[in-house]
Amino acid sequence: MHGTLPYTTEIRPDTGLTNPKLGIWLFLASEVMLFGSLFSSYALLRSAAAAWPDQSAVLSVPLATLNTIILITSSATMVLSLVGIRAQRFDRFRLHMGLTLALGAAFLVVKVFEYADKFAHGLVPATDNFLGLYFTMTGVHALHVLIGMVVNAYLLWPGARMWRTEPQRFTNRVEVAGIYWHFVDVVWIFLFPVLYLL
Amino acid sequence: MFFKYLFSTDHKVIGLLYGFTSLFFLLVGFVLVIVIRWQLAYPGEPVPGVGALFGDANAPGGIILPEFYNQLGAMHGTIMVFLGVVPLAVGAFGNYLIPLQIGAPDMAFPRLNLASYWFYFAGGVVMLASFFVPGGAANNGWTSYAPLSDLAPGHGQTMWLVGMLLIIFSSLLGALNFITTIVQLRAPGMTWFRLPFFVWAQFITAFLLLLAFPALQAAAILQGMDRVAGTSFFLPSGLAVAGQPLEVAGGGNALLWQHLFWFLGHPEVYVLILPAMGIAAEIITNNTRKPLWGYRIMVYSLFVLGFLSFVVWAHHMFLTGMGTVISAFFQATTMIISIPSVVILSSLILSLYGGSIRFTTPMLFALAFLPMFGIGGLTGLPLGLATTDIPLHDTNYVVGHFHYLVAPGTIFALFAGIYHWFPRLTGRMLNDWLGRIHFVGSLICMNVIFMPMFVQGLAGVNRRLWDGGAEYVHAQEVLYLNVPMSVAAFALGFFQLFFVLNLFMSLRGGRPVEPNPWHATTIEWRTEHEPVRIYRDPYDYSVPGAPTDFVPQHHAEPQRV
Amino acid sequence: MHVRGYLGIFGALLVLTVITVAVSSLQLAVGPTVALGLTIAAAKATLVVLFFMHLKGEKPMVMWPLALTVFLFAALFAFILWTEGDHIVGPSVGA
């Protein structure tokens, strides 16, 4: 049934796109508006605040820098997994997708550690608006990381069966999953300076 | 067999699922307002019959408490807009007709489509369930302004937030599905300017949903944090509740909620009207036997309307203390946005000129849509100018304004669509006489309900008052209007029975018709299964020299000169 | 793009990360801190979007909706700040 839908795998000539390629960019457009609304809220609450904590004193810049490096590296491994599958090197795809997954997990582990550390010091979302925004924005972001990991794990294991039956369609799936994963990285690229350094 | 329908990925089945569910929610929303209208006409009197069912927490002795009245009001708006009208206009009509009208085998992402429906359903369940938790449903208006909504006791408001998140997610998935489908799955020969106007309207609507809803997602998350995690995103410092200072960090901004809400809220009202314009256009051209006047300019107007709808939102906030420059900006954009609206309305009216008009039941509804939308739009003008908005804001004038647009506006167009496309679904016609009674009764009742609201609003009667203004001196002269308005509301309910009866009767016993009984040119009426090719414009009616007064889009002959 | 190209972008991203942390340790005034921090972030994001996400050379049907999105985000951000950013709302401030 789904195989008979045109342009699921082949490119439609006049638009130059496949359906999933257009679909993921449209979805990301809505995500830009979601995170954009959160960043706008941050900007307002901070600029109109009578006082605002010294962010880098409250949060751990070293841990966040580590997480930034982790996520950027995971973006690199993600794009390399696409290079691998496009070169029809399933082993290279598997290696780099596995690394991407591991790095994503590492990111979340660091975040759990960060959160636990804050809670241990009595720093919770309700403490002030800065911490409220910190937990909310990184929380929503972490949820997106988790969803990305689920998708990547699917492509690495059960979904990988498609490589043998419909290789082009599988390759396109890797590309689309990559576009989502890079977006999650881009959000963090902004979250890092905004929440930790500014 | 049940599962075959509930978990089908076929766009027609999903469209029908949306259709049945949304009609049910329209009924729920209507019942809520009937109770409200009883209270407004006869404040403090026990609601007959069902009064006892509400329970002592809501209505001791069957008399509506103010807190329960507020629940009815908030949920009437929420259910009608988010669970009723939009799912019907977009989810049902859009899903069923778009692939058929563009010659596609289905939506681009059929399984995502099914997921969209179930997220919508889940959101609806959460919203309905909220009535039954201690404290009842959300009671802070459909707009849930902070700080009241932040601090509302009980779980009802929190469930409203969860319900909204589910509904929004459903809409986002649906929107990207519609856009991808229209871009990618048009049949060979179906160029952009051969698309039926209905499809264009759905296309722009999908962009509005895609890019505006996330702001409310963010707002709902932030308010959820305020309510559940004790944050103060929308709570300013120094708030006191019941004389006690609030134990929160403070530093929040209640207007942040309003900005985020209305960034969605304004495009949302264009989501409510655009599909209706699309349906009206299809029915008008079909029943005048001539092409739409100004099809191209109508399409360009959709783009302008869609774009502008994103930059007018603060006209809902003129009374929040904004600066004069910002106020001027939003007044300007609001005035400008009336231009494309008027262009579309005028084009539809001009489409009638010189037409061979068939006064079929769908055409009656579509024709009535035009002046009713006109009244709704015109009454919006004083609201869009800050000075005149000052005495009118938050009065019944506003309620009358938007109800003219949604009720004898959008809902009439949706009725028109149901009468028009029923034979496509079932191969039978809805009964004409029942349809005409439904039409006349609904038109008269809606006007009797909503016209006096302008009078009450101009007299200064606030909206959302549980006693309809009975406590206010300035309301006394216009209070009597509540009675005929409520009687008309009860009568409106009565006239819907003709429609419901008609639906059930005609499903099995309606007059059977051959395919394409309305002799329409658009290809959703074709029944062949082979892939289709498009050769002509969408509305080739009364083509000179053609053998019939309509040439369907997929017919190559006669060639256009 | 070849593996070498992607690794080059990756290297640039790491360098920019180091720079942004180093700059923040300089403890500049608010204005320059925000401007620099966001500029570096924008540069990193641009690299990821153009090259990892292959937006460079992407089709118009993708570019136009994204352009609209960026415009709308800017409008939302700007109007919220413009309308509300210069004053504190609430009972504790003025009458």
Tokens 């997921």 appear where?
A: B115
Average pLDDT over residues B419-424: 98
Average pLDDT over residues B355-376: 98
- Is C94 inside a domain boundary? no
Judged against a pLDDT cut of 90, whether residue B252 lies above it is answered with yes
- Is A43 inside a domain boundary? yes
Using CA atoms, how far residue B335 sits from B41, B328, B330, B517, in Å, is 36, 10, 8, 42
Q: Judging by beta carbons within 10 Å of its beta carbon (0-12, 13-18, 19+), is residue B335 exposed, middle or buried?
A: middle
CA distance B401 to B451: 9
DSSP reduced 3-state for C58:
coil
Which residues, 6 or more positions from C89, have their beta carbon under 8 angstroms from its beta carbon? A48, B236, B253, B254, B255
C82 min Cα distance to partner chain B (Å) = 8
CB atoms under 10 Å from CB of B247, counted, come to 9
**What is the model's pLDDT at position B46?**
94
**What is the model's pLDDT at position B558?**
85
- Is B155 inside a domain boundary? yes
- pLDDT, tens digit (0-9, with 9 covering 90-100), for B216-228: 999 999 999 999 9
CA distance B533 to B191: 11
CA-nearest of A35, A20, A32 to A155 is: A20
- Is C38 inside a domain boundary? yes
**Cβ(B469)–Cβ(B479) below 8 Å:** yes
Tokens 């035009």 appear where?
A: B370
Which chains have 3+ CB pairs within 8 A of B?
Answer: A, C
- pLDDT, tens digit (0-9, with 9 covering 90-100), for B78-96: 999 999 999 999 999 999 9
Question: Comparing C2 with A97, which gets the higher pLDDT?
Answer: A97
Range of the domain at C4: 1-54
CA distance A91 to A89: 5
B172 min Cα distance to partner chain C (Å) = 14
pTM of the shown model: 0.97
**Cβ(B400)–Cβ(B450) below 8 Å:** yes
Give the mean pLDDT of chain A.
Answer: 96
Average pLDDT over residues A141-157: 98
Judged against a pLDDT cut of 90, whether residue A57 lies above it is answered with yes
Give the mean pLDDT of chain B.
Answer: 96
CA distance B490 to B496: 10
Q: Are residues C43 and C79 in the same domain?
A: no
- Is A13 inside a domain boundary? no
- Is A63 inside a domain boundary? yes
CA distance B6 to B240: 49
| pLDDT over 90 percentage in chain B | 95
CA-nearest of A107, A138, A108, A135 to A119 is: A135
- Residue B410 CA, chain-centre distance (Å), reads 6
CA-nearest of A182, A189, A187 to A25 is: A182
**What is the model's pLDDT at position C95?**
41
CA-nearest of B35, B188, B31 to B104 is: B188
Tokens 């009742």 appear where?
A: B445
**Cβ(B280)–Cβ(B416) below 8 Å:** yes
Structural domain tally of chain C? 2
Q: What is the CA radius of gyration of chain C?
A: 19
Average pLDDT over residues B146-165: 97
CA distance A196 to A184: 17
| Assigned token pair, B527 | 């029944």
| Assigned token pair, B211 | 């890019």
User: Is B310 part of the contact surface with chain C (CB cutoff 8 Å)?
Assistant: yes
Q: CB distance B253–C69 less than 8 Å?
A: no
CA-nearest of A36, C85, A165, A80 to B211 is: A36
| Assigned token pair, B152 | 């509302």
CA distance B503 to A1: 32
CA distance B420 to B524: 12
CA distance A24 to A112: 29
**Cβ(C89)–Cβ(B325) below 8 Å:** no
**What is the model's pLDDT at position C94?**
45
H helix runs in B309-411, sequence order? 324-350, 361-384, 386-392, 396-405
CA-nearest of C55, C34, C59 to C46 is: C55
- Is C9 inside a domain boundary? yes
DSSP reduced 3-state for A15:
coil
Q: Which residues of C touch B311 (CB under 8 A)?
A: 75
- pLDDT, tens digit (0-9, with 9 covering 90-100), for B262-274: 999 999 999 999 9
Range of the domain at A56: 19-197
Residue A123's φ and ψ, nearest 5 degrees, are -100, 110
CA-nearest of B175, B526, B99, B66 to A23 is: B175
Q: CB distance A182–C49 less than 8 Å?
A: yes
DSSP reduced 3-state for B541:
strand
Which among C83, C88, C90 has CB closest to B239? Answer: C90
B–C interface: beta-carbon pairs under 8 A:
53
**What is the model's pLDDT at position B1?**
65
CA-nearest of A59, A71, A147 to A106 is: A71
CA distance C64 to A120: 47
A46 min Cα distance to partner chain C (Å) = 9
CA distance B89 to B413: 9
CA distance A181 to B360: 53
- Is C33 inside a domain boundary? yes
CB atoms under 10 Å from CB of B29, counted, come to 21
Which among A5, A31, A38 has CB closest to B105? Answer: A5
| Assigned token pair, B273 | 């009207």
- Is A187 inside a domain boundary? yes
CB atoms under 10 Å from CB of B111, counted, come to 12
Q: Characterize the bridge pairing of strands B428-429 and B240-241.
A: unpaired
- Is A14 inside a domain boundary? no
**Cβ(A136)–Cβ(B231) below 8 Å:** yes
Q: CB distance C80–B259 less than 8 Å?
A: yes
Mutate to test the interface with A, among B184, B217, B235 (most CBs of A within 10 A): B184
- pLDDT, tens digit (0-9, with 9 covering 90-100), for A61-77: 999 999 999 999 999 99
User: Is A130 part of the contact surface with chain B (CB cutoff 8 Å)?
Assistant: no
**What is the model's pLDDT at position A13?**
97
Closest residue of B to C70, CA-based? B211
CA distance B272 to B492: 21
CA distance A11 to A9: 7
- Is C93 inside a domain boundary? no
Closest residue of B to A50, CA-based? B251
The CATH number covering residue A156 comes to 1.20.120.80
Judged against a pLDDT cut of 70, whether residue B535 lies above it is answered with yes
CA-nearest of B291, A25, B187 to C69 is: A25
Judged against a pLDDT cut of 70, whether residue B134 lies above it is answered with yes
In B263-277, which positions are buried (b, 16+ CB within 10 angstroms) versus exposed (e)? bbbbbbbbbbbbbbb
User: Is A26 part of the contact surface with chain B (CB cutoff 8 Å)?
Assistant: yes
Which residues, 6 or more positions from A34, have their beta carbon under 8 angstroms from its beta carbon? A140, B214, B215, B217, B218
Residue A17's φ and ψ, nearest 5 degrees, are -130, 155
Task: Label each residue of B485-538 as H, E or C.
Answer: HHHHHHHHHHHHHHHHHHHHHHHHHCEECCCCCCCCCCHHHCCCCCCCCCCCCC
Residues facing B241 on adjacent strands: B244
**What is the model's pLDDT at position B560?**
64
- Is A185 inside a domain boundary? yes
Write the DSSP assignment of C36-54 as a string of letters. HHHHHHHHHHHHIIIIIS-
Torsion-angle region of B291 (φ positive above 0: left; ψ -120 to 50: alpha; else: beta): beta
Mutate to test the interface with A, among B102, B107, B170, B180 (most CBs of A within 10 A): B180
- Is A124 inside a domain boundary? yes
Q: CB distance C83–B255 less than 8 Å?
A: yes
**Cβ(C61)–Cβ(A17) below 8 Å:** yes
Structural domain tally of chain A? 1
Whether the predicted interface score ipTM is above 0.95: yes
- Is A2 inside a domain boundary? no
**Cβ(B487)–Cβ(B445) below 8 Å:** no
- pLDDT, tens digit (0-9, with 9 covering 90-100), for B166-182: 999 999 999 999 999 99
pLDDT-derived band at B561, boundaries 50, 70, 90: low
Which chains have 3+ CB pairs within 8 A of C?
Answer: A, B
Range of the domain at B160: 2-234+251-525
Rounded-to-5 percentages of helix, strand, coil across chain B: 70, 0, 30
Which among B214, B232, B248 has CB closest to A30? Answer: B214
Structural domain tally of chain B? 1
The CATH number covering residue B427 comes to 1.20.210.10
**Cβ(B120)–Cβ(B86) below 8 Å:** no
- Is C27 inside a domain boundary? yes
First to last CA, chain C: 62
Q: Tell me which H or E stretch contains B9.
A: none
CA distance B524 to B93: 12
Q: Tell me which H or E stretch contains B428.
A: strand B428-429
Write the DSSP assignment of B429-454 as a string of letters. EPPHHHHHHHHHHHHHHHHHHHHHHH
Mutate to test the interface with A, among C48, C66, C88, C89 (most CBs of A within 10 A): C48
Tokens 């729920």 appear where?
A: B28
Write the DSSP assignment of B195-260 as a string of letters. S-HHHHHHHHHHHHHHHHHHHHHHHHHHHHHHHHH---TT--TT-EETTEEP-S-----HHHHHHH
| Assigned token pair, B8 | 């089908």
Tokens 């004053």 appear where?
A: C87
Average pLDDT over residues C17-21: 97
CA distance B453 to B403: 10
- Is B557 inside a domain boundary? no
Q: CB distance C89–B254 less than 8 Å?
A: yes
